[in-house]
Structure 1
Amino acid sequence: MENLSLTKEKEKLEVELSLVRIELQREAELAKESVGLIKEKLILAKQAEELRHEVVAEKKVSADLQAKLDHQNKNIKMLTGTNQLNKILSTGRMESSHMGLGYTGRQNGNTGKTNFVSGGHAH
């Protein structure tokens, strides 16, 4: 009877040992998976940091290009204004001339008396 009880105890312990081995195998697989995930996380963190640096560099390039564009636009507006001014000046007017642009000057027969004209009535 003692042998029977020892045999049952042995079988029970072998089943428990088998369950413990299965559990250890699962834990080992989880540990491997966990290590793999940690490695992947480190790689992704490094890539994210590199991308952050790249974004900062691209923003700097973008700001520099925007500044150049603004400067070029300012130069274009200035040159356009200069061309229009040159066109006006090239119409043959002298700097001291008051002729043109609405100035009629005094007529020979005019005695210098100014006539005021009514602008009409505002309603």
Structure 2
Amino acid sequence: MKSFHDYATLKTTGQLVMDLGSISTHICALVALLRNYDVHNNLSTKVLLWVLVGTIIFQVIVAVGLYIFRTLDLNSEVNHQAANRWNIVFFCALFLVAVLETFIGAFEKFGMDHVPYISGNGTSVF
């Protein structure tokens, strides 16, 4: 039977792989946004652009943290409290990423044509 440390390492590695897959999805969405839409003249596309860039940076930070967290020896009882706190932090971070993916996915599914055009002096549907 494997030790608890081996189980926790496999779980963290699984979270890391899911995060890396999510990073690649957001990079593809960013490339599609930059290729298909004029980012300079529409505030809606600028907001989506910065959300995508922000989530990519945030996910890279989470991935590095998960990679470092994998090395924490959980067979030693001294590390249990720190591991518990970091596990909560990473859970919240991955939950936030999932919420942002839902927001980004709404734009990808329905397209930017359904987003209200936001100009400097108000919002217009046209």
Shorter-chain TM band: 0.3 to 0.5
Greater strand share, structure number: 2
| Bigger relative contact order (CA 8 A; separation at least 6) | 2
Greater helix share, structure number: 2
Q: TM-score, normalised by structure 2?
A: 0.32
Q: TM-score, normalised by structure 1?
A: 0.32
